[in-house]
C-alpha cells in the first residue's frame, strides 16, 4: 500500500487529502475515486511536473489538480 497527497483546487477553495492506495493505481483511478470524472477538464501536476492520466502513482507523490482555464 502506498500513500499520496491529493490537492484539488477549485476557485478560491481547495481540498487536501492524504490517501492510501493499492499498488498500480493511476492518476485516472485516483481522480475518478475522488469524484472527478472529466479528467480532460483539469490539469494534473505530480511532484511539480505536468503528467498523463495513465501515470502509475508512487508512494509519496504529491498530486495537484487544477481546473483547465479558457478564455478569449
Q: Is residue 47 part of a domain?
A: yes
For cell 479528467, name the residue: 39
- CATH code, 19: 3.10.20.30
Comparing C-alpha atoms, which of 41, 35, 39 is closest to residue 54? 39
Model confidence at 8, pLDDT cuts 50, 70, 90, reads very high
Cβ–Cβ < 8 Å for 9, 65:
yes
Cell 492510501 -> residue: 20
Q: What is the pLDDT of residues 19-56, one digit of tens each?
A: 999 889 999 999 999 988 887 788 999 999 999 889 99
The domain containing residue 29 runs over which residues? 2-67
Total domains in the chain come to 1
pTM equals 0.86
Is the residue at 72 inside a domain? no
Buried b (16+ CB within 10 A) or exposed e, 3-24: ebebebeeeeeeeeeeeebeee
In a domain, 45, yes or no: yes
Amino acid at each position: 500500500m502506498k500513500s499520496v497527497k491529493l490537492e484539488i483546487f477549485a476557485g478560491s477553495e481547495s481540498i487536501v487529502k492524504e490517501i492510501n492506495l493499492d499498488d498500480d493505481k493511476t492518476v485516472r483511478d485516483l481522480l475518478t475515486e475522488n469524484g472527478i470524472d472529466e479528467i480532460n477538464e483539469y490539469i494534473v501536476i505530480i511532484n511539480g511536473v505536468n503528467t498523463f492520466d495513465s501515470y502509475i502513482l508512487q508512494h509519496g507523490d504529491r498530486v495537484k489538480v487544477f481546473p483547465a482555464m479558457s478564455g478569449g
